[in-house]
């Protein structure tokens, strides 16, 4: 952490928070503290956003750092930029907390190199579901702006995974805009790392603003969202318990694999479930049909979803892009978020929290998974296993 | 291309034939592949591993022009290599053959004959499907360097060097101290025959130093090592100002870095102040070697000596094996010096494992040495406070105390282990490959550990291990002959590798390197042992283990479960 972690720095404030942030970033670019900026820019058709890497400060005004939707996970843009190695130029990227978390996870897999990147985050009220947004972009734009200006962090109009996101104010970035607080309170910038502190120093920013009221407000919101998480997970739990439930849950799935394409954690060049092995011969399928009386297509739907869960749930950051991408509206995000929370709990791992925490699959600890040891012991001694 | 698979079911005498219906298996197997362009030849035979059996199999392969071979018999642990060798005598690549275990995995464990037959059929059909996905693999032959690097010039290192050095095999011996001989060179007498040890060791040192095929480098340490069995590249440098570095190529490395003694000051229950007549067993050995007798600092002999065994055994968690004998020897020497000196030995247990030890103990006891078994013991200066087995607490004062502290790994063990890529045991000594099957080897092929570096032991056992390692090296690295590295190794499919480096974290043989330019992992085939950790851990499925590829395993399982 930078200077006094309980103090932020005041910055020159515009009427709109988005403009405040833009000006701050433009200033960084003009001062040559950074070489480039990565931010969402609205596409010409006006109903979506694209990630644009800009070096020209005149382009900055066209960006919207507080985009209401997240069509492409920011971590993917960072991956395109730094997969081959660290960036040659210092780039500041404005990301939602879940995009920062995904970037942190990808850095553990050598897919993102955080070295020359400045990750700038902000208290995120959530993102509007893509489908809702595309039906009425203008309306949703103004709605989102009023959420930001009205400091409303507990709205139901955002995606379900956003409704229960307790990491909306996560400090895994370098700089963070503290937006939550009393209505009318000014946004303050907080440093979350050495990089962040050094930048703030270079900009001559003094950390004199007491963050305690903001921290308290964030904690309040977190508690409320935590409750919401329990509620929402409860509704999802039965959907993944047992094969029959899984079949029901994914009955609409058309096997498009959009969820896998949109997921920032799914980085494989070729997904195993698209490989040759995942395509059985006709003869085998005919035999299955004969044995069971029938077979549905596309086949192995459950295998794909459960397989994807086993491959990436330990790194799931609950960003919800999978649901946005699903053409048949299966609540993939809530399901994977729930499963991810359980698998991560088993390893006492928090995906995306810190770059220093090793991925469970890459680290062996003698004393992990004690519950499994207990299960084996009781099975060997002939005891009845716990439910 | 038309494929012709030969399936040979071994009756294994009554072992398999009595427990499954051979004819039912023959029938079921021959129907395999009716829909594909695969021809099946399926026969049974009484005993395939016999001389005639092997000859029969060889003829069958050649006459039938088989493209693939299945042998359904006992465990591959028994005879996989037998049938591989049969294939090698024919034109059939041995990796287009698969052995199916229908004995240990079937006939011997399933007691219902019908069920056993069903299982055997499924296993064989699985193998048939699998073998079609197997590909030819070719063994390579690598030149090796028969020379050896010995790290450590103590008794074990000297013994290894002398056993191995020959006109066809050079030995490099490096020692971090300026003299050779280690601890053994310090001892006046060697148990149990009480010979003049120093002389013997000095003779060995002379032999080594004058040996035409041993190059000794004292005051030298190992800097780094890369490579694999038969082809190591090692860098050493001289300790001290000049720091001259030398590179050498060897085929094997023997670690003989010995031990060190735990300092008594590590044990707060034995309070020693400056000037106290409290010594370690090693101090006494030195005193006896130098002065020929036990004396206090004042110059006069003690009237009573207390010997405390097992100092540090509880804390370290292991017995140091040699101290009981050493302390009994010291007790005997004190009595020999002057029978009137009261000698009391405080023991927990007695470790007297060798065939002459019990007699020696009795002899010394007969000289009047008191052996007191204690539950716990501590000392403050020259006062010993102990609880006997009768639960009574006793104080005893002496003119001199001798403590036997635990042996511990030599300084620098952890660093050297890391440089050589070999693991440490939880006690801090080097970990052997296997306690009984491979006791002088380590996890890295070609790196051996001998002597006290492996664990507390005396001179005899150190020499034993040294000779064992030398024998191993002599059979593994024959001058002029090549070695055949493992063929069933992993390979990284460039197109799928995303450079996440997960495989690097799970490979314990150092067999994977990262190509920074291409951002992909690459397997060093000569070091790879084919354990499959990398293949299992790769999130992208970019690593395949040859002869255990995903399609092979998948198809076998699918077919067996049909």
Q: What is the mean pLDDT of residues A246-269?
A: 95
Which residues of chain B lie closer than 8 angstroms to A287, CB-CB? 562
Q: How far apart are CA B65 and CA B284, in angstroms?
A: 77
**Which of B455, B385, B395, B388 is CA-nearest to residue B425?**
B455
Mean pLDDT of A117-123: 95
CA nearest to B551 within chain A: A277
DSSP result, B211-257:
-TTEEEEESEEEEEEEEETTEEEEEEEESSSS--EEEEEESEEEE--
Count Cα atoms within 13 angstroms, Cβ side, for B362: 5
Size of interface A-B (CB pairs under 8 A): 55
Q: What is the domain partition of chain A in residue ranges?
A: 7-233, 238-378
**DSSP letter string, B136-180:** ------B-----EEEE--SHHHHHHHHHH-BTTB-EEEEESSSSS
Residues of chain A contacting residue B35, judged by C-beta atoms under 8 Å apart: 283
The answer to whether B549 contacts chain A (CB < 8 Å) is no
Dist. CA B324–CA B336, nearest whole Å: 18
Across the interface, of B516, B539, B551, the residue whose CB is closest to A277 is B551
A 266-285 near B (Cβ less than 8 A):
267-270, 272, 275-277, 280, 283-284
Kindly report the backbone phi and psi dihedral angles of residue A330, in degrees, each rounded to the nearest multiple of 5, phi listed first: -80, 135
| B500 to A272: CB separation less than 8 angstroms, yes or no | no
* A287 lies within 8 A of chain B by CB: yes
CB A20 within 8 A of CB A13: yes
CB contact under 8 A, A109 and B502: yes
Position A384 scores a pLDDT of 59
With CB atoms and an 8 Å threshold, state whether A109 touches B541: no
- Tell me what percent of the residues of chain A surpass a pLDDT of 70: 97
Contacts of residue A174, defined as CB under 8 A and 6 or more positions apart, other chains included, come to A118, A119, A120, A191, A192, A193, A195, A196, A199
- Report d(CA A207, CA A189) in Å as an integer: 9
Minimal CA separation from A74 to chain B, in Å: 19
DSSP E strand stretches across B19-131? 38-45, 68-73, 97-101
CA B505 – CA A247 distance, rounded (Å): 36
Task: Tell whether B495 lies on the interface with A, counting CB pairs under 8 A.
Answer: yes
- Residue B185 half-sphere exposure, CB side, CA atoms within 13 Å? 17
**Choosing among B540, B551, B557, B560, which should be mutated to test the A contact, i.e. which has the most A CBs within 10 A?**
B540
Q: Inter-chain contact B498–A277, Cβ cutoff 8 Å?
A: no
The DSSP bridge partners found for residue A41 are A50, A63
Examine the pLDDT at A3 and tell me if it is beyond 60. Answer: no
Q: Which member of A83, A275, A361 has the closest CB to residue B541?
A: A275
Q: Tell me which chain B residue has its CA closest to the CA of residue A79.
A: B498
Q: How confident is the model at residue A363 (pLDDT cuts 50, 70, 90)?
A: confident
Cβ neighbours for B508, distance < 8 A, ≥ 6 positions apart: B443, B531, B533
pLDDT (average), residues B495-520: 89
Q: Over range B218-245, report the average pLDDT.
A: 91
Number of Cβ within a 10 Å radius of residue B295: 15
Nearest CA to CA, how far is A272 from chain B (Å)?
7
Note whether B282 contacts A: Cβ–Cβ < 8 A: no
Q: Is B247 on the interface with A (CB under 8 A)?
A: no
Cβ-nearest to A111 among B500, B537, B558:
B500
Question: Which residue on chain B is closest to A271 by alpha carbon?
Answer: B540
Q: Do B541 and A311 touch (CB under 8 A)?
A: no
Report yes or no: A292 at the B interface, CB cutoff 8 Å: no
Local structure of A210: helix, strand or coil: strand
Check CB contact of B385 with chain A, cutoff 8 Å: no
Please give the Cα distance from A370 to B5 (Å, whole number): 48
User: Strands B370-380, B231-238: parallel, antiparallel or unpaired by DSSP?
Assistant: unpaired
What's chain B's Rg over C-alpha atoms? 31
DSSP conformation letters of A255-301: ---HHHHH-SS---SS-GGGSGGGS--HHHHHHHHHHHS---SS--H
The SS3 call for residue A330 is coil
Q: What's the CA angle centered on A255, arms A250 and A256, to 5 degrees?
A: 125
Distance, in angstroms, between A281 CA and closest chain B CA?
11
Q: Does A80 touch chain B (CB under 8 A)?
A: no
Distance of alpha carbon B99 from the chain centroid: 29
The CA distance from A307 to the nearest CA of chain B, in Å, is 11
User: Does residue B505 sit at the A interface (CB-CB below 8 Å)?
Assistant: yes
User: Which of B:507-546 have CB within 8 Å of A?
Assistant: 516, 519, 537, 539-541
Yes or no, beta carbons of A269 and B496 under 8 Å apart: yes
Q: Hey, is the C-beta of A296 within 8 angstroms of any chain B C-beta?
A: no
Q: How far apart are alpha carbons B155 and B187 in whole angstroms?
A: 12
Using one digit for the tens of pLDDT, what is the confidence trace for A30-47?
A: 999 999 999 999 999 999
What is the pairing mode between strands B447-449 and B252-255?
parallel
Which residues on A lie below 8 Å from B498 (Cβ)? 109-111, 267-269
- Work out whether strand B383-388 and strand B543-545 pair parallel, antiparallel, or are unpaired: unpaired
Question: Distance (Å, rounded) from C-alpha B181 to C-alpha B440?
Answer: 21
**pLDDT for position A368:** 79
Task: Give the one of A84, A277, A311 whose C-beta lies nearest to B550's C-beta.
Answer: A277
B interface test, pick of A272, A287, A308, A309 with most B CB neighbours within 10 Å:
A272
Average pLDDT over residues A110-139: 94
pLDDT value of residue A1 = 39
Task: Assess A289–B contact: CB distance below 8 Å, yes or no.
Answer: no
Separation of alpha carbons B228 and B142, rounded Å: 11
- Euclidean distance between CA atoms B502 and B496, whole angstroms: 14
Distance CA A209, CA A189 (A): 9
Asked if B540 lies within 8 A of A268 by C-beta distance, the reply is yes
Confidence of residue B193 (pLDDT cuts 50, 70, 90): low
CA distance A84 to A112: 8
Inter-residue contact B402 to B279 (CB < 8 Å): yes
Distance of CA B24 to the CA centre of its chain: 47
Convert B18-36 to b/e letters by CB count within 10 Å (16 or more is b).
ebbbbeebeebbeebbeee
Q: What tens digit of pLDDT does each residue of B141-174 get? A: 989 999 999 999 999 999 999 999 999 999 999 9
Nearest CA in chain B to A268: B540
Distance, in Å, from the CA atom of A190 to the CA atom of A192, rounded to the nearest integer, reads: 6
A110: left (phi over 0), alpha (psi -120 to 50) or beta: left
Burial class of residue B247, CB neighbours in 10 A (0-12, 13-18, 19+): exposed
Gyration radius (Cα) of chain A, Å: 22
Instruction: Indicate the average pLDDT of chain A.
Output: 90
Q: Do A276 and B551 touch (CB under 8 A)?
A: yes
Query: Whole-number mean pLDDT of chain B?
Result: 93
pLDDT over threshold 60, residue A211: yes
Question: Within a 10 A sphere around the Cβ of A101, how many other Cβ atoms?
Answer: 28
**Weakest-pLDDT range from A97-101, A211-215, A329-333, B317-321:** A211-215
Domains of chain B, with CATH numbers?
3-137 (3.40.50.960), 148-260+409-476 (3.50.50.60), 264-405 (3.50.50.60), 490-546 (3.30.70.20)
Q: Using a CB–CB cutoff of 8 Å, tell me whether B292 touches chain A.
A: no
CB contact under 8 A, B539 and A111: no
- Joined together, the tokens standing for residue A313 give 């749930």
Of A83, A85, A268, the CB nearest to B539: A268
> What is the pLDDT, as a whole number, of residue A387?
46
- In chain B, the residue whose alpha carbon lies closest to the alpha carbon of A308 is B539
Query: Which strands make up the sheet holding A7-10, listed edge to edge?
Result: A49-54, A36-42, A91-94, A117-122, A175-178, A188-191, A7-10, A207-210
B496 contacts on A by Cβ (under 8 Å): 268-270
ipTM score assigned to the predicted complex:
0.81
- Give the pLDDT mean for A147-157: 92
Buried/exposed A206-241: b ≥16 CB within 10 Å, e otherwise: ebebebeebbebbeebbeebeebbeebbeebeebbe
């Amino acid at each position: 952490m930078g200077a006094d972690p309980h103090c932020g720095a005041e910055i020159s404030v515009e009427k709109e928070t988005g403009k405040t942030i833009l000006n701050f970033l433009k200033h960084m670019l003009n001062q040559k503290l950074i070489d480039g900026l990565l931010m969402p820019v609205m596409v010409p058709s006006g109903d979506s956003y694209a990630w644009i890497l800009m070096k020209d400060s005149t382009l900055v005004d066209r960006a919207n750092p507080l985009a209401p939707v997240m069509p492409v996970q920011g971590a993917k843009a960072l991956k395109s930029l730094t997969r081959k190695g660290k960036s040659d130029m210092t780039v500041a990227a404005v990301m939602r907390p879940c995009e920062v978390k995904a970037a942190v996870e990808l850095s553990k897999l050598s897919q993102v190199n955080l070295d020359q990147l400045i990750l700038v985050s902000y208290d995120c009220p959530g993102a509007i579901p893509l489908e809702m947004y595309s039906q009425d972009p203008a309306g949703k734009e103004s709605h989102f702006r009023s959420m930001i200006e009205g400091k409303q962090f507990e709205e139901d109009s955002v995606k379900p995974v956003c409704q229960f996101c307790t990491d909306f104010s996560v400090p895994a970035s370098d700089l963070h805009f503290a937006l939550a607080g009393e209505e009318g309170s000014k946004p303050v910038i907080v440093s979350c790392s050495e990089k962040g502190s050094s930048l703030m120093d270079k900009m001559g920013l003094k950390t004199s603003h007491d963050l305690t009221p903001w921290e308290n407000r964030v904690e309040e919101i977190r508690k409320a969202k935590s409750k919401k998480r329990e509620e929402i997970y409860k509704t999802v739990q039965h959907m993944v318990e047992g094969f029959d439930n899984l079949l029901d849950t994914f009955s609409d799935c058309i096997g498009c694999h959009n969820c896998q394409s949109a997921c920032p954690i799914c980085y494989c060049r070729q997904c195993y479930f698209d490989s040759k092995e995942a395509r059985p011969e006709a003869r085998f399928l005919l035999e299955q049909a004969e044995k069971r009386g029938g077979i549905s297509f596309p086949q192995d739907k459950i295998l794909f979803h459960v397989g994807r869960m086993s491959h990436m749930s330990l790194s799931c950051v609950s960003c919800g892009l999978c649901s946005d991408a699903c053409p048949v509206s299966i609540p993939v995000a809530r399901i994977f978020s729930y499963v991810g929370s359980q698998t991560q709990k088993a390893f006492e791992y928090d995906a995306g929290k810190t770059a220093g925490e090793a991925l469970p699959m890459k680290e062996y600890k003698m004393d992990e998974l004690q519950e499994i040891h207990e299960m084996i012991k009781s099975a060997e001694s002939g005891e009845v296993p716990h439910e | 291309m038309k494929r012709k698979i030969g399936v040979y079911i071994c009756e294994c005498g009554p072992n398999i034939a009595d427990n499954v219906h051979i004819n039912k298996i023959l029938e079921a197997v021959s129907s395999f592949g009716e829909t594909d362009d695969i021809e099946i030849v399926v026969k049974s035979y009484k005993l395939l591993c016999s001389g005639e059996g092997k000859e029969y199999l060889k003829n069958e392969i050649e006459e039938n022009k088989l493209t693939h071979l299945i042998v359904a018999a006992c465990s591959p642990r028994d005879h996989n290599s037998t049938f591989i060798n049969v294939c090698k005598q024919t034109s059939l690549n041995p990796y287009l053959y698969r052995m199916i275990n229908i004995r240990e995995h079937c006939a011997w464990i399933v007691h219902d004959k019908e069920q056993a037959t069903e299982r055997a059929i499924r296993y064989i059909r699985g193998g048939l499907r699998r073998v079609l996905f197997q590909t030819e693999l070719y063994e390579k032959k690598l030149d090796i360097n028969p020379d050896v690097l010995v790290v450590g010039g103590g008794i074990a290192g000297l013994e290894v060097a002398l056993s191995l050095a020959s006109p066809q095999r050079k030995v490099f011996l490096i020692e971090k101290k300026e003299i050779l001989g280690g601890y053994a060179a310090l001892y006046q007498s060697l148990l149990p025959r009480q010979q003049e040890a120093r002389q013997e060791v000095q003779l060995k040192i002379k032999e080594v130093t004058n040996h035409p095929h041993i190059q000794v480098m004292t005051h030298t340490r190992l800097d780094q090592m890369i490579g694999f069995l038969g082809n190591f590249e090692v860098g050493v440098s001289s300790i001290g100002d000049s720091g001259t570095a030398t590179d050498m190529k060897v085929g094997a490395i023997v670690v003989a870095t010995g031990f060190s003694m735990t300092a008594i000051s590590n044990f707060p229950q034995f309070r020693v102040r400056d000037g106290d007549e409290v010594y370690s067993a090693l101090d006494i050995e030195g005193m006896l070697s130098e002065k020929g007798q036990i004396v206090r600092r004042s110059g006069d002999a003690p009237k009573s000596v207390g010997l405390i065994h097992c100092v540090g055994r509880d804390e370290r968690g292991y017995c140091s094996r040699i101290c009981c004998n050493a302390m009994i020897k010291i007790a005997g020497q004190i009595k020999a010096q002057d029978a009137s000196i009261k000698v009391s030995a405080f023991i927990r247990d007695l470790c007297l494992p060798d065939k002459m030890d019990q007699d020696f103990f009795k002899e010394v006891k007969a000289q009047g040495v008191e052996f007191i078994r204690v539950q716990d013991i501590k000392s403050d200066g020259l006062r010993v406070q102990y609880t006997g087995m009768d639960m009574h607490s006793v104080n005893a004062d002496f003119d001199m105390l001798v403590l036997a502290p635990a042996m511990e790994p030599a300084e620098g063990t952890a660093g050297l282990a890391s440089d050589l890529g070999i693991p440490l045991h939880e006690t801090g000594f080097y970990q052997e490959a296997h306690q009984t099957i491979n006791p002088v080897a380590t996890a890295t092929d070609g790196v051996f550990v001998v002597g006290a570096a492996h664990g507390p032991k005396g001179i005899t056992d150190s020499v034993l291990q040294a000779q064992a390692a030398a024998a191993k090296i002599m059979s593994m690295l024959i001058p002029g002959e090549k070695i055949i590295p493992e063929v069933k190794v992993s390979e990284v499919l460039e197109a799928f590798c995303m450079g996440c480096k997960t495989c690097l974290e799970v490979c314990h043989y150092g067999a994977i390197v990262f190509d920074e330019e291409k951002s992909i992992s690459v397997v060093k085939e000569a070091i790879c042992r084919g354990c499959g950790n990398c293949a299992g851990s790769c999130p992208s499925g970019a690593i395949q283990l040859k002869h255990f590829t995903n399609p092979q395993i998948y198809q076998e399982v699918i077919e067996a479960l049909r």
